């Protein structure tokens, strides 16, 4: 029909992409633009939207172990072959890290950063240890996600818990934790679940259902 055909490009053709999920997303966006051009003869410009990313960096062995599926956390890694029995394959699949975020859909930190066009939290707060702390009450603690908002501390006061969540340190080094000399496992279960329901970033969260062992 005489229309000039535009050039569509994505992925490594435009700039290096090291993550497959990003390359797939770019490919899908490009496919939608090609489809729009074929149907309507024009493609709408996609406004640049700053992506919010929180970088954990390389995790030390202890942090990796804390995030592994509890059913296989202590299992010895096995070498897989074409003749491996189905049970072995299933068990190796369960070794996948349980890295799904409890606030994947409603993280207040992400919402605020997106509204203020802050693309990343990397380097914007004091370093906190990565990994998970399992309280034994169906609640997990992820210190790296904590923004020290103090909501859980105030809830401890409202509930008048005998052992509550407290602030430690000052300024940029402030952090949240159990009282000095105590552990997360010693805190009351009702307080931990209440804090999990109020935490805006998933730093305190209810444990997600685990996959069943073969």
- pLDDT, one tens digit per residue, over 126-135 is 466 678 888 9
For residue 26, the tally of other CB atoms under 10 A from its CB is: 18
- The answer to whether 195 touches 152, Cβ cutoff 8 Å, is yes
- The answer to whether 80 touches 92, Cβ cutoff 8 Å, is yes
Where helices occur in the chain by DSSP H, the ranges are 20-40, 61-67, 86-93, 108-115, 151-159, 189-198
* pLDDT for res 95: 60
pTM score, two decimals?
Answer: 0.59
Tokens matching residue 62: 């202890």
In terms of Cα–Cα distance, which of 130, 137, 129, 105 is closest to 206? 137
Task: Give 86: exposed, middle or buried? Use CB within 10 Å, 0-12, 13-18, 19+.
Answer: exposed
* pLDDT for res 121: 53
Q: Read off the pLDDT band of 87 (50, 70, 90).
A: confident
Tokens matching residue 103: 């606030």
- pLDDT, one tens digit per residue, over 107-147 is 777 777 777 776 665 544 446 667 888 898 989 998 888 88
Where helices occur in 41-175 by DSSP H, the ranges are 61-67, 86-93, 108-115, 151-159
Contacts of 96 (CB under 8 A, 6+ apart): 69
Judge whether residue 191 has pLDDT over 90.
Answer: yes
What is the C-alpha separation between 108 and 30, in angstroms, rounded?
30
Whose tokens are 């997303």? That residue is 25
Whose tokens are 């934790």? That residue is 177
What is the C-alpha separation between 116 and 51, in angstroms, rounded?
12
């Amino acid at each position: 029909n005489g229309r000039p055909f535009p050039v569509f490009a994505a992925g490594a053709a435009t700039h290096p992409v090291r993550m497959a999920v990003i390359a797939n997303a770019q490919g899908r966006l490009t496919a939608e633009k090609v489809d729009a051009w074929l149907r309507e003869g024009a493609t709408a410009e996609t406004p640049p939207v700053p992506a919010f990313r929180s970088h954990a960096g390389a995790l030390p062995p202890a942090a990796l172990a804390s995030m592994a599926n509890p059913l296989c956390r202590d299992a010895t890694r096995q070498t897989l072959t074409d003749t491996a029995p189905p049970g072995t394959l299933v068990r190796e699949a369960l070794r996948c890290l349980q890295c799904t975020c409890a606030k994947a859909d409603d993280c207040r930190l992400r919402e605020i950063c997106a509204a203020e066009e802050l693309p990343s939290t990397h380097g914007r707060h004091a370093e906190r240890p990565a990994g998970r702390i399992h309280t034994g009450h169906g609640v997990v603690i992820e210190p790296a996600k904590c923004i020290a908002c103090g909501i859980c501390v105030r809830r401890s006061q409202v509930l008048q818990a005998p052992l509550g969540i407290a602030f430690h340190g000052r300024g940029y080094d402030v952090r949240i934790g159990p009282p000095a000399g105590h552990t997360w496992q010693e805190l009351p279960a009702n307080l931990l679940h209440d804090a999990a329901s109020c935490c805006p970033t998933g730093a305190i969260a209810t444990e997600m259902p685990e996959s069943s062992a073969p």
